[in-house]
Amino acid sequence: MTFKALDMTAFQQRLDRWRGSAASINSFRDDHDRLIVKLTDPTGQQEPVGLAFFNCTYLAGPVSWSAMNLIVQESQRDDGSPGYEARDDVAGFVVRFASSSLYGDEESFLRERS
């Protein structure tokens, strides 16, 4: 499996392809504070994909919702280091994290900011 590093704009564009899909928390692993959200195509024409958030410092909102509309932006993490925030304002979902990957469609990742 090959992953492609993307800047924030390109990662958002890749994520936008899944806008309107059903989203649900698939798992959380505390070894790397990794959250995986499953995105399911509402038409059923595509296989579900996984959206992983690494080194999460904050999480709020529902465990599943429809019509996903996540927006990724730069933010500061709780310790003051640079990071990202993904939010879906309609669903009330927010996660703050260091890096992210989208896999199952075209594998890509958003690098950790330095």
Of residues 107 and 60, more confidence is placed in 60
Rounded CA-CA distance 48/41 in Å is 6
Question: pTM here?
Answer: 0.91
pLDDT per position as a tens digit, 18-51: 999 999 999 998 877 899 999 998 888 889 999 9
Whole-number pLDDT of residue 1: 57
DSSP helix/strand/coil, 92:
coil
Q: Can you list the alpha helix ranges (DSSP code H) found in the chain?
A: 8-16
